[in-house]
Amino acid sequence: MKKLINNPENVVREELEGIAAAHSDRLRVSLDPYYVMRSDAPVNGKVAIVSGGGSGHEPMHGGFVGPGMLDAACPGEVFTSPTPDQILAATKAVSGGSGVLHIVKNYTGDILNFEMAADLAKEEGIEVEAVVTNDDVAVQDSLYTAGRRGVGVTVLAEKICGAAAEAGRNLSQVAELCRRVNSEGRTMGMALTSCTVPAAGKPTFELGDDEMEIGIGIHGEPGRQRRKVAPADEIVDLMATAITDDLPFRSGDRVLAFVNGMGGTPLIELYIVYRALARFLGGRGISIQRNLIGSYITSLEMAGCSITLLRLDDEMLGYWDAPVNTPGLRWGA
């Protein structure tokens, strides 16, 4: 295992100390328990949004904290759910009196711990709604998951709902929008290489020199098939077919196309993937209105990519374009 780390046991703590050192102008970091929050939180009268999950998916979620996106993020250890006390502490810290939305990726541990934290927060008089993302079309149930896994659409939901909360929407409106973004979004991922959890010290899974895994999860969970490496255009065809057939996306649909790197994928390759995706969608009459290309929901140093398509309506489009000011996504602010 070669990584730019110190003691494998301290990876998340030291990452958080790095985030604190880098972004103290706009973020506050709690180390006991772990969470990252906007330094201006709680924002009175605004719906607060809290997300979280295992670490190793950076910039998700800590990098998405800031005006126009999340109020707080709770990072667990690498590929490990955050604990209820983290989530409760973050929820209380950012609650501005208008309710808190929990955006939760569909993994069994995450769901349980967010639910427990929500119950405890409600006992303290904080209104909480939770929305579970489950956009991964690759497999039905999987390791760690009953039902589909929550992946790339989570980034888009956090941005869009963050803008809606900033614009003064109330809790039920923001939660409804979040459910709509999830229901209109679909994702599929693939990997060229495995990744190594620092504390484990060896690759999560093995992949031959000429193999790839189609439909991989963000923790290296198995996908639909392991096959010989193929040209990018063929890989995109496979993934985009699975995604568009699932919703289904139809001619005339307007979409946001999100090409995501898994952590070890250079940008030059993501643009080659985007080229193929744009051609694929163009051929089906599906119109890309917005795009996002880069590494936003990762699996440590895994090489590979995921594609997320979100069918846009005018409300989502407006909130997507609204200003955002986080370490991971920033524009118009």
Q: Does 214 bind a copy of itself (CB under 8 A)?
A: no
Left if phi > 0, otherwise alpha if psi is -120 to 50, otherwise beta: which for 66?
left
Tell me the closest approach of the beta carbon of residue 314 to a copy of itself, in angstroms.
18
Q: Cα separation of 200 and 316, whole Å?
A: 40
Tell me the closest approach of the beta carbon of residue 315 to a copy of itself, in angstroms.
21
Q: Which residues in the 14-73 window bind a copy of itself by CB under 8 A?
A: 14-15, 17-19, 21-22, 55-56, 58-59, 63
Q: Does 237 bind a copy of itself (CB under 8 A)?
A: no
Q: Does 321 bind a copy of itself (CB under 8 A)?
A: no
Catalytic residues: 57, 219
Among 2, 45, 125, 251, binds a copy of itself (CB under 8 A): 2
Furthest-apart CA atoms within the chain: distance in Å = 55
Q: Does 202 bind a copy of itself (CB under 8 A)?
A: no
Residue type, 322: A
DSSP-derived secondary structure letter, 263? B
Q: Does 157 bind a copy of itself (CB under 8 A)?
A: no
Binding span for a copy of itself by CB under 8 A among 81-89, 99-107, 161-169, 322-330: 322-330
Binding span for a copy of itself by CB under 8 A among 91-99, 109-117, 240-248, 290-298: 290-298
Binding span for a copy of itself by CB under 8 A among 109-117, 143-151, 173-181, 259-267: 259-267
Q: Does 266 bind a copy of itself (CB under 8 A)?
A: yes
Q: Where are the beta strands (DSSP E) in the chain?
A: 27-31, 34-38, 48-55, 72-78, 100-105, 128-133, 185-191, 211-214, 225-228, 254-261, 287-294, 304-311, 324-325, 330-331
Nearer to a copy of itself, 2 or 32 (CB): 2
Tell me the closest approach of the beta carbon of residue 273 to a copy of itself, in angstroms.
6
The three-class DSSP label of residue 329 is: coil
Nearer to a copy of itself, 167 or 272 (CB): 272
Q: Which residues of 248-261 are buried (b: 16+ CB within 10 A; e: fewer)?
A: ebeeebbbbbbbbb
Q: Which residues of 288-305 are buried (b: 16+ CB within 10 A; e: fewer)?
A: bebebbebbbbbbbbbbb
Q: Does 212 bind a copy of itself (CB under 8 A)?
A: yes
Q: Which of 243, 133, 313 is nearest to 235 (CA)?
A: 243
Q: Which of 237, 244, 242 is nearest to 287 (CA)?
A: 244
Among 168, 201, 231, 248, binds a copy of itself (CB under 8 A): 231
Q: Does 270 bind a copy of itself (CB under 8 A)?
A: yes
Tell me the closest approach of the beta carbon of residue 221 to a copy of itself, in angstroms.
18
Q: Cα separation of 1 and 157, whole Å?
A: 34
Q: Which positions lie near a copy of itself, rule CB under 8 A?
A: 2-7, 11, 14-15, 17-19, 21-22, 55-56, 58-59, 63, 192-193, 209-210, 212, 229, 231-233, 235, 263-275, 278-279, 291, 293, 295, 298, 300-301, 303-305, 325, 327, 330-333
